[in-house]
């Protein structure tokens, strides 16, 4: 499956990370927050500004540029 960028999801959508097409530092930071390949999450907010995700009981914010590089499956 090819997946689609995280930025295309809507609030309330549940998804799973398929792959991350970012540089080493950004990928490492995402992994430290728990957003790694196979991670399941729910989109809380996706309008202006960062995208807010609910992941393992925590809320995390992802900038739109980085979210464009995170490929997900619903």
Kindly tell me if the per-residue pLDDT of 19 is higher than 90: yes
| Predicted TM-score (pTM) above 0.95 | no
Instruction: Provide the residue range defining the domain that includes 33.
Output: 4-73
Structural domain total, the chain: 1
| CATH, residue 65 | 2.30.30.90
Instruction: Give pLDDT tens digits for 20-72.
Output: 999 999 999 999 999 999 999 999 999 989 999 999 999 999 999 999 999 99
Q: Which residues pair with 30 in a beta bridge?
A: none
Of 39, 73, 36, nearest in space to 56 by CA: 39
pLDDT of residue 39: 97
Kindly tell me if the per-residue pLDDT of 1 is higher than 90: no
CB 7 within 8 A of CB 62: no
pLDDT of residue 67: 97
């Amino acid at each position: 499956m090819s997946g689609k960028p995280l930025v295309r999801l809507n609030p309330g959508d549940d998804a799973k990370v398929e792959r991350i097409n970012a540089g080493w530092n950004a990928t490492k930071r995402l992994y430290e927050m728990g957003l790694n390949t196979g991670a399941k999450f729910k989109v809380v907010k996706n309008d202006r500004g960062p995208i807010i995700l609910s992941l393992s009981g925590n809320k995390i914010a992802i900038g739109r540029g980085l979210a464009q590089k995170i490929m997900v499956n619903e």
